[in-house]
A and B are shown apart, each in its own frame.
Chain A
Amino acid sequence: MERAWRRCPFVAAFLVAAMAVEPMTSGGQTSQPDELRQELEEMKEQLRRVQEQMKKQEAIIQKQQVVIDKLTAQKPAAAAVGGAPPPPEQVQAAAAPPTAPAPAPPAPTTEKPREPWSPSQPITLLSGARGYMNISFDALMDFGWSTTANVTAIETGDHDPLQRGFTLPNEEIFLDGAVDPYFKGLADLVFKLDENNNTDVELEEVYLTTTSLPWNLQTKAGQFFSEFGRINQQHPHAWDFVDQPLVIGRMFGPEGLRNPGTRLSWLVPTPFYSEIFLAVQNSQGETAYSFRNSGTEFFGRPPLDRTVRNPGDLLYVPRLVASFDLTDSQTLVTGASGAFAPNDSGTSTRTQIYGGDLYWKWKPSWQAGGFPFLAFQTEALGRRFEAGPVGGAAPLPSQALYDWGIYSQLLYGFTQRWVAGVRADWVSSNANGLPPADRLAGRFRWSPNLTFYPTEFSKIRLQYNYDHGKTIPNGDDSSVWMQVEFLLGSHAAHKF
């Protein structure tokens, strides 16, 4: 359409005329009304012709577009695999105005020709709409020092810093995409280096999600993080702190609550957002830490290796979550979760874990780049553990034991790319004195931190931890950790 301007010299004349007329009409000076009227008539006629010409050109462009669409549709697959996008130049040349405002050349031949592919060119893994699968690699690296030499005495997670010096606690390959019109699939493979620099591999999550069930239902099947609270569903790179909260370590162990199973969720048709989840998962192993976990001794009871006798021996994780937009710039999310399954301390003993979580975020209507913001998050968890009887030299009765904990964190994205945070952690129990008592003794932690996000694909974080409690060597500990992250490939959008 822009070419119309160049091809028709009368358009330029019209413009000059229009500009000449503009100040006169606006100034109200109509000294030569007849001449002016004549000019106006001329202009109308010219306008009509210009519009006609524009319509013709548009029709041509649309026809060209159809042809181009057909052509590009025929060969996108081949082009995409090679790393080269379908040639947009012709499309651009046809429909878009030329880049330079230079007046002379009639045909827009100034478009840069696409460079041919050469073997030396890096092969680009395509993401987003261009491939069948999103692929990404995310690496977390920690470096730091603590006053105790035994870092595992203060950190509870497998993806936390493990030692003085350097730790690579979580390097994950993340694959996801639509399987077919009915399912989406996701795989998360985690590699990490242990203290002796051996590589551990975890099939952290592998599941499919339905996309087209009726009645607002959705199911998930495979191995997945149970939808319990907020942190348990997040991967370490999405955490706001270097390490996992103490209460999560107490209840769900170093690996978080995740196991093979299935989950049904219902998006409730309320005026506000609310959703109900129910997961049924296997109840054994270190990823079901508080349940049939034969690897860990609880409250002085040597673990039995219980089998699944009936459906009640599986793990059940219900969750209810609701969200409210308090104002245009404030959102609140509240949730209640439970996890119920047998434990290995007796032949018919069970564990119940309850949790409540709350998240509040302020993000003003003039945010740029996602900043500024203020976000508060807290989770409180309580566990009832039915401990079985123990005979022999040190007999223990059958008893119910309780422990609980809470963390609260406040994050302030004070300027673009910078986030300051502080977290308070507290855990306690009524099981003091039971061997191994120290594992469940009360603890407290303060963690201020500062994170710099150069882009969404990298971050540099500095965190200080002050730990206090009976289980801490010397009663208290100070540690400083630096964390660096990089992400290659597509960046999966974060949930709220």
Chain B
Amino acid sequence: MNVFARLLVMILVAIVGDSSLTHAADKLKVVATTADLAAVARAVGGDDVDVTTLARPTEDPHFVDAKPSFIRIVNQADVLIEGGASLEAGWLPPILDSARNSKISPGSPGRVVAAQGIALLEVPTQLDRSMGDVHPQGNPHFMLDPVAAKTVAQTIATAFCAVDHARCTDYQDALGRFRAAIDGKLLAWQTTLAPFKGTKVVTYHKDFDYFAERFGLEVIDTLEPKPGIPPSPTHLTELIPKMRSAHARLILIEPYRERNNPDFVAEHTEARVLVLPAMPDAKDTPDYIALVDSDVRQLAAALGEKPARP
């Protein structure tokens, strides 16, 4: 017990000595589970907020480790933004339990569930795990749809206003600018991709469904036989003829996916593999609009090329 008492004293001394914690900046502390949500939060919050992202932009957002350091980050948050629709169900709950932060408890103004207000696709009418890891509330990968992002920005701005009344006009102004920027870009994006309307594509996971719907692509199947189940030989042998007869042009995959199966399928069909980031990355795509811009450009470039095997 003596040892513990000593450690306690040492830690207390450390805390008192650490001025960065006791005199935190006046900014709203915002924690976003994924980088896409963080990007929208930055667009709305600007310099008034300090946004921390939990999941790394390059990793599979379903399978993030509930690292203890997240507990401390969430503990100090004024606002927590999660995707919702069970996207983070595998790792966020234990963090929230340990973080003991009532500002972000469910239903509090500081708790933002981005999926609220979004009309989710693929809501199952029946829950049955033999169909794979189907999220009961619907497909949670809606952030690549710029119209959904506008709604999310609205949701975030509402939360920022509720938590931080004083700077509400800032947030509303930034929201207006973000929405206008999206509106301005949307038509250009749709114009860029208009020639490819109806193009049939295959994705690895159901990550690009909203994006495809928005820009007129048709996702005919996934490499995964069922959500969350890795590609199986049986499924691929069925998928390849299906893609051939449908003249599927692209296999869209996220950067963290393995390449063996996509490459194998590409070899046996006229489709190409296109790695399309679903998350903004500090280097190439610093914000949300840059991300969609880059994805649209890459898509148009890939579709503009001739099919691999006409």
Please give the residue numbers on chain A whose beta carbons come within 8 Å of chain B beta carbons, in ascending order.
1, 15, 18-19, 47, 50-51, 54, 65, 84-85, 88, 91-92, 94-97, 99-101, 114-115, 121-122, 124, 126-130, 178, 181, 184, 209, 211-213, 216-218, 267-276, 316, 318, 320-321, 323-325, 328, 331, 333, 336, 338, 340, 361, 363, 365-370, 416-417, 455-457, 491-496
How distant is the Cα of A195 from the Cα of B62 in the complex, in angstroms?
Answer: 40
**Stretch of B95-103, B158-166, B239-247 that contacts chain A:** B95-103
- Chain B contacts for A18, CB-based, 8 A: 191, 194
Q: A94-B119, A366-B59, A493-B92 are in contact. Are A267 and B1 (CB under 8 A)?
A: no
Q: Is B46 engaged at the interface, CB distance under 8 Å to the other chain? A: no
Check B98–A457 contact: CB distance below 8 A: no
Q: Within 8 Å of chain A (Cβ to Cβ): is B286? A: no
CB distance from B85 to the nearest CB of A (A): 9
B86 and A128 contact, CB distance less than 8 A: yes
Hey, which chain A residues are within 8 Å of B102, CB to CB? 211-212
Contacts of B198 in A (CB 8 A): 101
Contact A267 B123 (CB under 8 A): no
Please give, as numbers and ranges, the residues of chain A lying within 8 Å of B173 by CB-CB distance. Answer: none
Q: Which residues of chain A come closer than 8 Å to B117, judged between CB atoms?
A: 65
Query: What 3 pairs across the A-B complex have the smallest Cβ distances?
Result: A323-B68, A370-B63, A273-B68
* Contact present for B90 and A88 (CB under 8 Å): no
* B100 in complex: contacting residue of A91, A178, A213, A368, CB < 8 Å: A213
10 A-B contact pairs sorted by A residue (CB < 8 Å): A88-B138, A101-B216, A124-B127, A211-B105, A217-B100, A323-B67, A331-B67, A331-B68, A336-B3, A493-B92
Chain B positions near chain A (C-beta within 8 angstroms): 1, 3-4, 7-8, 11, 14-15, 18, 20-21, 56, 58-60, 62-63, 65-69, 71-72, 75, 86, 89-94, 97-100, 102, 105-106, 117-121, 123-129, 132-133, 136-138, 147, 183, 187, 191, 194-195, 197-198, 213-214, 216, 218, 228-230, 254-258
Q: What is the CA–CA distance of A340 and B127 in the complex, to the nearest angstrom?
A: 48
Q: Which residues of A contact B94 (CB under 8 A)?
A: 493-496
**A494 in contact with B66 (CB, 8 Å):** yes
Are B56 and A365 closer than 8 Å at their CB atoms?
yes
Q: Which of B62, B68, B218 is in CB contact (< 8 Å) with A496?
A: B68
Partner of B71, one of A54, A101, A267, A336: A267
CB-defined contacts of A19 to chain B, threshold 8 Å: 191, 194-195
- In the complex, the answer to whether A320 meets B4 with C-beta atoms within 8 Å is yes
Tell me how far the C-beta of B140 lies from the nearest C-beta in chain A, rounded to whole angstroms.
Answer: 12
A368 and B14 contacting across the interface, CB-CB below 8 Å: no
Residue of B3, B97, B195 touching A184 (CB-CB under 8 A): B97
CA distance A119 to B219 in the complex (A): 34
A416, B194: Cβ atoms under 8 Å? no
Q: How far does the alpha carbon of A491 sit from the alpha carbon of B63 in the complex, in Å? A: 13
Residue in A closest to B7 when the chains form the complex, CB atoms: A320
CA distance A184 to B90 in the complex (A): 18
* A455 and B229 form a contact (CB under 8 A): yes
CB distance from B265 to the nearest CB of A (A): 17
Complexed CA–CA distance, A15 and B194 (Å)? 8
Determine if A270 and B11 form an interchain contact, defined as CB atoms under 8 angstroms apart: yes
Distance in angstroms from B233 CB to nearest chain A CB is 15
Distance of A47 Cα from B191 Cα, bound (Å): 12
Q: Which residues of A contact B106 (CB under 8 A)?
A: 178
Residues on B with C-beta less than 8 A from A91 are: 119
A369, B228: Cα distance in complex, Å: 8
Task: Please determine whether B119 and A367 come into contact, CB atoms closer than 8 angstroms.
Answer: no
- Contact check, B60 vs A367: say whether CB atoms are below 8 A apart: yes
Q: In the complex, what residues of B have CB within 8 A of residue A318's CB?
A: 1, 4
Whether B126 pairs with A96 at a CB distance below 8 angstroms is: no
In the complex where A101-B198, A369-B60 touch, is A50 in contact with B187 (Cβ < 8 A)? yes
- The answer to whether B214 touches A271, judged by C-beta atoms less than 8 angstroms apart, is no
Contacts of A54 in B (CB 8 A): 183
**How far apart are B61's CB and chain A's nearest CB, in angstroms?**
10
In the complex, the answer to whether B89 meets A272 with C-beta atoms within 8 Å is no
B123 near A268 with CB under 8 A, answer no
Q: Which residues of A contact B71 (CB under 8 A)?
A: 267, 273, 275
A390 → B minimal CB distance (Å): 30
How far is B127's CA from A369's CA once the two chains are assembled, in angstroms? Answer: 21
Q: What separation, in Å, do the CA atoms of A126 and B129 have in the docked complex? A: 12
- CB–CB B136/A114 < 8 A: no
State how many angstroms separate the Cβ of B50 from the closest Cβ of chain A: 15
Nearest residue in A to B4 (C-beta to C-beta)? A318
Q: B88 → chain A, closest Cβ, in Å?
A: 9
- What is the chain A residue whose CB lies nearest that of B151? A95
A94, A217, A367, A492: most-surrounded residue (chain B CB, <10 A): A367
- Would you call A268 and B213 a contact (CB within 8 A)? no
Q: How far is the CA of A181 from the CA of B62 in the complex (A)?
A: 28
User: Contact between B191 and A85 (Cβ–Cβ < 8 Å)?
Assistant: no
Interface-central residue, A124, A127, A273, by most chain B CB under 10 Å: A273
Residue of chain B at shortest CB distance from A331:
B67
**Nearest CB in chain B: distance from A465 CB, A:** 29
> Is A495 a contact partner of B66 (Cβ separation < 8 A)?
yes
Check A333 against B93 for contact (C-beta < 8 Å).
no
Contact in complex: B66, A493 (CB < 8 Å): yes
A122 to B127, alpha carbons, bound, how many Å? 10
Nearest residue, chain A, Cβ from B99: A267
| A457 nearest CB neighbor, chain B only | B129
Contact A493 B1 (CB under 8 A): no
Query: Which residues of chain A are within 8 angstroms of B230 by Cβ–Cβ distance?
Result: 369, 416-417
A209 to B119, CA, bound (A): 35
Q: Is the CB of B125 within 8 A of A456?
A: no
